[in-house]
Structure 1
Amino acid sequence: MVSSPRLLFLLLAGASLCCVAAQKTDTLRQGESLSGAATLVSSPEGVFEAGFFAPDPKQPSRQYLGIWYHSISPRTVVWVANRVAPATSASPSLTLTVTGDLRVLDGTAANGTADAPLLWSSNTTSRAGPRGGYSAVLQDTGSLEVRSEDGVLWDSFWHPTDTILSGMRITLQAPGRGPKERMLFTSWASETDPSPGRYALGLDPGNSGQAYIWKDGNVTYWRSGQWNGVNFIGIPWRPLYRSGFTPAIDPVLGNYYTYTATNTSLQRFVVLPNGTDICYMVRKSSQDWELVWYQPSNECEYYATCGPNAKCTASQDGKAKCTCLKGFHPKLQEQWNAGNWSQGCIRSPPLGCETNQSGDGFLPMGNIKWPDFSYWVSTVGDEPGCRTVCLNNCSCGAYVYTATTGCLAWGNELIDMHELQTGAYTLNLKLPASELRGHHPIWKIATIISAIVLFVLAACLLLWWKHGRNIKDAVHGSWRSRHSSTQSQQNSAMLDISQSIRFDDDVEDGKSHELKVYSLDRIRTATSNFSDSNKLGEGGFGPVYMGTLPGGEEVAVKRLCRNSGQGLEEFKNEVILIAKLQHRNLVRLLGCCIPREEKILVYEYMPNKSLDAFLFNPEKQRLLDWKKRFDIIEGIARGLLYLHRDSRLRVVHRDLKASNILLDADMKPKISDFGMARMFGGDQNQFNTNRVVGTFGYMSPEYAMEGIFSVKSDVYGFGVLILEIITGKRAVSFHCHEDSLNIAGYAWRQWNEDNAAELIDPVIRASCSVRQVLRCIHIALLCVQDHADERPDIPTVILMLSNDSSSLPNPRPPTLMLRGREIESSKSSEKDRSHSIGTVTMTQLHGR
Structure 2
Amino acid sequence: MAASRLLFSLCTALAVAAAAATDTLKQGDSLTAPATLVSSPSGVFELGFHAPDPARPARLYLCVWYRDTQPRTVAWVANRVNAAAAAAPSLTLTAGGELRVLDGAAKDGAPMLWSSNTTTRAAPRGGYSAVIQDSGSLQVRDVDGTVIWDSFWHPSDTMLSGMRISVNAEVRAQVRGPPERMLFTSWASETDPSPGRFALGLDPANPSQAFIWRDGNVPFWRSGQWTGLNFVGIPYRPLYVYGYKQGNDPILGMYFTYTATNTSLQRFVVAPDGRDVCYMVKKSTQEWETVWVQPSNECERYGACGSNAICTVVQDRKAKCTCLKGFKPKLADEWNAGNRSQGCVRNPPLDCQVNKTGDGFLSIPNVKWPDFSYWVSGVTDEYGCMNTCQQNCSCGAYVYMTQLTGCLHWGSELMDVSQFQAGGYALNLKLPASELGSHIAVWKIAAIASAVVLFVLLACLFLWWKRGRNIKDAVHRSWRRSRRSSTRSQQSAGMLDISHSIPFDDETEDGKSHELKVLSLDRIKAATGNITWWRRSSCEEAL
Give 2:414's aligned residue. 414
Hey, what does 2:160 align to over in structure 1?
A: 165
Q: C-alpha deviations, 1:552-604, integer Å up to 9, x for none? A: xxxxxxxxxxxxxxxxxxxxxxxxxxxxxxxxxxxxxxxxxxxxxxxxxxxxx
Give the C-alpha shift of residue 185 in structure 1.
Answer: 0.3
| Contact 1:207 1:255 (C-alpha < 8 Å) held by counterparts | no
2:35 to 18, 26, 38: 38
The C-alpha deviation readout for 1:334-388, integer Å capped at 9, x for no partner, is 1111111000000011111011111000000110100000001012111100001
C-alpha contact 2:264 2:282 (8 A) present in aligned 1: no
Q: 1:444-843 residue pairs with structure 2 within 5 A?
A: none
Aligned ranges 1:2-17 → 2 under 5 Å: none
- Among 136, 140, 163, which residue is 1:142 paired with? 136
Q: Which amino acid aligns with 2:141?
A: R
Q: How many matched pairs?
A: 445
Instruction: Give distance in 2, aligned partners of 1:224 and 1:128.
Output: 44
**1:127 to 1:176, Cα distance in 2 relative to 1, 3 A:** farther
SS at match of 2:425: coil
Question: Structure 1 residues 443, 14: CA separation in 2 closer, same or farther (over 3 Å shift)?
Answer: closer
Structure with more of its chain in strand, by fraction: 2
Query: Larger % of helix: which?
Result: 1
**1:198–1:215 contact (8 Å) kept in structure 2:** yes
The offset of 1:164, in angstroms, is: 0.1
Written as runs of structure 1 = structure 2, the 5 A alignment for 1:201-212 is: 201-212=200-211
SS class of match (1:418): strand
| Residue number in structure 2 paired with 1:655 | none
Secondary structure in structure 2 of the residue aligned to 1:317: helix
Partner of residue 216, structure 1: 215
User: Which residue of the partner structure matches residue 126 of structure 1?
Assistant: 120
Cα distance in 2 between the residues matched to 1:438 and 1:335: 31
Matched, 1:98 2:100: no
Deviation per CA, 1:47-78: give whole Å up to 9, x if none.
11111111111111100000010001100000
* 1:431 has 2:431 as partner: yes
Question: What residue in structure 2 maps to residue 156 of structure 1?
Answer: 151
Distance in 2, Cα, partners of 1:15 & 1:96: 31
Name the Cα RMSD after superposition: 2.6
Aligned partners of 2:45 and 2:282: how far apart in 1?
Answer: 17
Q: Could you tell me the TM-score, scaled by structure 2's length? A: 0.77
Distance 1:311 1:131 in 2: 62
Write the distance in 2 (CA, Å) between the matches of 1:194 and 1:21. 30
Q: CA 1:34–1:316 in structure 2 vs 1: closer, same or farther (change >3 Å)?
A: same
In the other structure, the counterpart of 2:67 is 70
The change in CA–CA distance for 1:128 and 1:86 in structure 2 (over 3 A counts) is farther
Matched-pair contact (CA < 8 Å) for 1:237–1:293 = no
Partner of 2:530 in structure 1?
A: none
For residues 527-574 of structure 1, the C-alpha deviation after alignment (integer angstroms, 9 at most, x for no partner) is xxxxxxxxxxxxxxxxxxxxxxxxxxxxxxxxxxxxxxxxxxxxxxxx
Alignment of 1:47 with 2:44, yes or no, is: yes
Q: Tell me if 1:283 matches 2:282.
A: yes
CA distance in 1 between partners of 2:113 and 2:152 (Å): 20
Structure 1 Cα separation of the partners of residues 121 and 202 of structure 2: 27
Partner SS state of residue 317, structure 2: coil
Decide whether the 8 Å contact of 2:51 with 2:57 is kept in 1.
yes
2:399–2:409 Cα contact (<8 Å) kept: yes
Please list the CA deviations of residues 276-325 of structure 1 after superposition, one character each: whole Å capped at 9, or x if unmatched.
Answer: 00000011222111100010000001100100000000114110000000
CA distance in 2, matches of 1:206, 1:368: 22
Distance in 1, Cα, partners of 2:97 & 2:413: 52
Give the match for residue 750 of structure 1.
none
Identity of aligned residues (%): 65
- Alignment match, 2:510: none
**Against the structure 1 CA distance between its residues 127 and 294, is the aligned structure 2 distance closer, same or farther, given a 3 Å change threshold?**
farther
Q: Secondary structure at the match of 2:385?
A: helix
* 1:794 alignment partner in structure 2: none
The higher radius of gyration belongs to 2
1:117: Cα distance to partner?
A: 1.1
Gaps of 5+ in 2: 454-463, 469-543
Seen in structure 2, the aligned counterparts of structure 1 residues 127 and 278 have a Cα distance that, compared at 3 Å, is farther
**Corresponding position of 2:266:** 267
Distance in 2 of aligned mates of 1:17 and 1:99: 34
Question: Higher relative contact order by CA 8 Å / sep ≥ 6: 1 or 2?
Answer: 2
8 Å CA contact 1:166, 1:265 repeated in 2: no
Structure 2: which amino acid aligns with 1:299? E
Within 5 A, what are the aligned runs for 1:303-452? 303-403=302-402, 404-440=404-440
CA deviation digits over 1:755-789, x for unaligned, max 9? xxxxxxxxxxxxxxxxxxxxxxxxxxxxxxxxxxx
Distance 2:311 2:121 in 1: 50
Distance 1:413 1:439 in 2: 22
Distance in 1 separating the partners of 2:181 and 2:369? 26
The match for 1:174 is 169
Distance of aligned partners of 1:283 and 1:173 in 2 relative to their CA distance in 1, 3 Å threshold: same
Secondary structure of 1:389's match? helix
* One-letter amino acid of the counterpart of residue 46, structure 2: E
Task: Summarize deviations over 1:372-425 as a string: whole Å, max 9, x none.
Answer: 000010121111000010000000000010011111000011000001233240
